[in-house]
């Protein structure tokens, strides 16, 4: 799946002795990679893994027919090759023959057909039901061939078939929405499920039967540690080997000789953005002038400097600057509180006795929801609160646990505004996020944005293979959504991973750093660990 919403106790089998420096003989289980995860997963079946925590773990267990390589080029994964008809309507995938599910059963074309049927089943609670596009039929001419016929051209087809394939022999006839398989999955990738202690950790074991050869790391241990300060303490004492640093940690807390000797930190633009989203079914936000005013009233640069310490770039629309769909001519909403006041006045909002704007007896006040494990978003909300107070808008802030925020508030549309983020696929198909039909519970257009021209362009972008034409379409979408002030786009953060130098083979590439995780290893000679 290509679009996922963004954004500590010592475990006996996982960590080096708590509170002791992980040097020399003090490092226990050196071939375990221990990472920090800010929230627990919920469901691990790929088409149900809609939050980042679930998606990260699911992606290590399951595979699709295709994937992106380090240079963001689509290559085969479970499919060794494919043929595309001249009219672009038929893709024939040729599957690898040596793949086995982690329980030993053979992987065949029947599993691909089963996955497609489950994805398209209206009873499957997935926001990805339209990801495969206008498929007319999926056939299996033999056990290792899958033929996909489209009703009309679908440009993101190859990326779409990167969705995780699920096993027919274990899930046929079952309700996948609540099946125990979600917590004890069986995939084909080089890590297999080992253990899940709710709210504590998820452990994956190396799968030696992986058809390309198992990983050099024995276990991938994901520890659920919501607080990033606690994560950093665990990093320094050996409880984890890898985490995403906060800007403060990256800039001011990691330049010590000990940290530099033991860890390697990296920086590169994330293919993601954070935004202030409004519930557009709320009358408070239905006037475009009001949304534009709120965007003008928020000092985006102040947030980037104050919250990210400059480790990010301004966001002007639904594509980050790294995307070929990014429209550099869209300037967004530079900080201009006077313009914000003028727009609010034009929309009928006037100051009340206490300075808070009112209209038809209603005060302009609302609450911003954030996930409590994300201090950056809490800090951004505080700056927004101060900025909007200057133009007469009163804002409250409520921090909620991640899964509660997702399922009790966002899915139910029980919010006025929220700060969230999107991690995006490399293809600019953002139909699931912005099309007006994708507003049902559990789907991604939870702000309820609707624009007929955008709906039309989103479909055209999917049906056009010509690169220049697609680029024009998505750049137009970028401009319209920005002009609508569908939300207030805040920033594109830099990715700031840090990892123990014990692990070799870690290489930064345009796609990130974990693309070659199977090749990471720890030298046998401990003297080489921190060289």
> Tokens representing 122?
């209206």
CA-to-CA distance for 507 and 517, rounded, in angstroms? 10
Cα 121 versus chain centre, distance: 24
Please give the pLDDT value at position 373: 80
C-beta separation of 114 from 173 below 8 A: no
Mean pLDDT of the chain: 93
Percent of the chain with pLDDT over 70: 95
Distances, alpha carbon 478 to alpha carbons 310, 321, 357, 474, in Å: 24, 11, 31, 6
C-beta separation of 13 from 195 below 8 A: no
> Tokens representing 458?
């989103």
CA-to-CA distance for 329 and 332, rounded, in angstroms? 9
3-state helix/strand/coil string of 193-209: EEEEECCCEEEEEECCC
> Tokens representing 250?
């990256």
- Is 227 a residue whose pLDDT tops 50? yes
CA-to-CA distance for 3 and 366, rounded, in angstroms? 28
| pLDDT tens track for 322-356 | 999 999 999 999 999 999 999 999 999 999 999 99
Please give the pLDDT value at position 26: 59
- Is 19 a residue whose pLDDT tops 80? no
Which residue has tokens 């033999």?
142
* Mean pLDDT, residues 188-217 taken together: 97
CA-to-CA distance for 69 and 196, rounded, in angstroms? 29
**Domains present along the chain, CATH in parentheses:** 4-38+190-267+497-528 (3.40.190.10), 66-171 (3.90.76.10), 272-494 (3.10.105.10)
- Is 223 a residue whose pLDDT tops 70? yes
Residue 45 CB neighbour total at 10 angstroms: 25
C-beta separation of 66 from 159 below 8 A: yes
Residue 203 backbone dihedrals phi, psi, to 5 degrees:
-115, 130
CA-to-CA distance for 282 and 220, rounded, in angstroms? 44
Give 316's pLDDT tier (boundaries 50, 70, 90): very high
Percent of the chain with pLDDT over 90: 88
C-beta separation of 291 from 278 below 8 A: yes
Bridge partners of residue 504, in order along the sequence: 521
* Mean pLDDT, residues 99-105 taken together: 98
> Tokens representing 13?
């089998």
Question: Would you list the DSSP string of 358-406?
Answer: EETTEE-EEEEEEETT-HHHHHHHHHHHHHHHTTT-EEEEEEE-HHHII
Please give the pLDDT value at position 9: 27
| pLDDT tens track for 475-521 | 999 999 999 999 999 999 999 999 999 999 999 998 999 999 999 99
Please give the pLDDT value at position 27: 74
CA-to-CA distance for 186 and 103, rounded, in angstroms? 7
- Mapping DSSP to helix (H, G, I), strand (E, B) and coil, where does residue 503 land? coil
From 492, 317, 302, 281, select the one nearest 388 (Cα to Cα): 302
CA-to-CA distance for 68 and 515, rounded, in angstroms? 8
Residue 66 backbone dihedrals phi, psi, to 5 degrees:
-130, 170
| pLDDT tens track for 148-198 | 999 999 999 999 999 999 999 999 999 999 999 999 999 999 999 999 999
Residue 464 backbone dihedrals phi, psi, to 5 degrees:
-110, 125
Residue 101: Cβ-neighbour burial (10 angstroms; 0-12, 13-18, 19+): buried
22-36 burial, b at 16+ Cβ within 10 Å, e below that, comes to beeeebeebbbbbbb
From 165, 137, 126, 166, select the one nearest 3 (Cα to Cα): 126
Please give the pLDDT value at position 452: 98
| pLDDT tens track for 22-68 | 343 457 889 999 999 999 999 999 999 988 899 999 999 999 999 99
* Mean pLDDT, residues 391-404 taken together: 95
- Is 252 a residue whose pLDDT tops 90? yes
Give, for 35, the enclosing helix (H) or strand (E): strand 32-37
CA-to-CA distance for 457 and 435, rounded, in angstroms? 10
- Is 462 a residue whose pLDDT tops 80? yes
CA-to-CA distance for 446 and 128, rounded, in angstroms? 14
**Contacts of 32 by beta carbon, 8 Å cutoff, 6+ apart:** 14, 217, 218, 219, 220, 221, 241
C-beta separation of 354 from 394 below 8 A: no
270-308 burial, b at 16+ Cβ within 10 Å, e below that, comes to bbbbbbbbbbbeeebbebebbbbbbbbbbbbeebbeebb
CA-to-CA distance for 514 and 483, rounded, in angstroms? 36
* Mean pLDDT, residues 280-295 taken together: 98
């Amino acid at each position: 799946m290509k679009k996922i919403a963004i954004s500590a106790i010592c475990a006996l089998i996982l960590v080096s002795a708590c509170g002791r420096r992980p040097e020399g003989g003090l490092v226990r289980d050196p071939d375990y990679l221990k990472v920090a995860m800010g929230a627990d997963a919920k469901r691990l079946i790929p088409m149900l893994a809609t939050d980042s925590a679930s998606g990260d773990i699911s992606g290590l267990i399951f595979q699709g027919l295709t994937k992106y390589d380090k240079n963001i080029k689509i290559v085969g994964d479970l499919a060794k090759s494919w043929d595309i008809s001249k009219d672009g309507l038929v893709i024939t995938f040729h599957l690898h023959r040596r793949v086995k599910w982690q329980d030993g059963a053979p992987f065949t074309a029947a599993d691909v057909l089963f996955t497609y049927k489950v994805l398209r089943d209206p009873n499957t609670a997935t926001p990805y039901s339209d990801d495969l596009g206008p498929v007319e039929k999926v056939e299996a001419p033999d056990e290792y061939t899958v033929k996909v016929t489209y009703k009309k051209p679908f440009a993101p087809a190859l990326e779409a078939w990167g969705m995780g394939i699920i096993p027919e022999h274990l899930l046929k006839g079952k309700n996948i929405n609540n099946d125990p398989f979600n917590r004890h999955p069986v995939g084909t990738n080089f890590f297999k499920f080992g253990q899940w202690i709710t709210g504590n950790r998820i452990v994956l074991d190396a799968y030696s039967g992986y058809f390309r050869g198992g990983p050099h790391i024995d276990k991938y241990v994901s520890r659920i540690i919501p607080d990033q300060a606690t994560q950093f303490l665990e990093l320094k004492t050996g409880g984890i080997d890898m985490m995403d640093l906060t800007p403060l940690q990256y800039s001011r807390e990691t330049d010590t000789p000990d940290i530099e000797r033991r860890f390697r930190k990296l920086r590169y633009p994330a293919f993601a953005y954070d935004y202030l989203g409004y519930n557009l079914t709320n009358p408070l936000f239905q006037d475009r002038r009001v949304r534009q005013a709120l965007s003008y009233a928020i000092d985006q640069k102040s947030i980037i400097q104050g919250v990210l310490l400059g480790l990010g770039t301004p966001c002007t629309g639904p594509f980050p600057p790294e995307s070929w769909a990014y429209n550099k001519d869209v300037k967004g909403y530079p900080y201009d509180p006077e313009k914000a006041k003028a727009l609010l006045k034009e929309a009928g909002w006037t100051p009340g006795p206490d300075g808070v704007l009112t209209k038809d007896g209603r005060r302009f006040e609302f609450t911003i929801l954030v996930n409590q494990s994300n201090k950056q978003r809490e800090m951004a909300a505080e700056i927004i609160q101060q900025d909007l107070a200057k133009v007469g808008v009163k804002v409250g802030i409520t921090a909620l646990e991640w899964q509660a925020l997702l399922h009790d508030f966002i899915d139910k549309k029980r919010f006025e505004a929220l700060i969230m983020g999107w991690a995006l696929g490399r293809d600019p198909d953002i139909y699931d996020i912005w099309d007006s039909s994708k507003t049902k519970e559990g789907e991604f257009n939870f702000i309820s944005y609707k624009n007929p021209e955008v709906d039309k362009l989103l479909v055209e972008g999917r049906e056009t293979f010509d690169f220049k034409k697609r680029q024009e379409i998505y750049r137009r979408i970028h401009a319209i959504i920005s002009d609508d002030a569908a939300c207030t786009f805040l920033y594109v953060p830099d990715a700031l991973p840090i990892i123990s130098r014990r692990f070799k083979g870690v290489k930064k590439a345009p796609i990130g750093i974990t693309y070659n995780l199977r090749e990471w290893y720890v030298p046998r000679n401990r003297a080489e660990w921190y060289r």
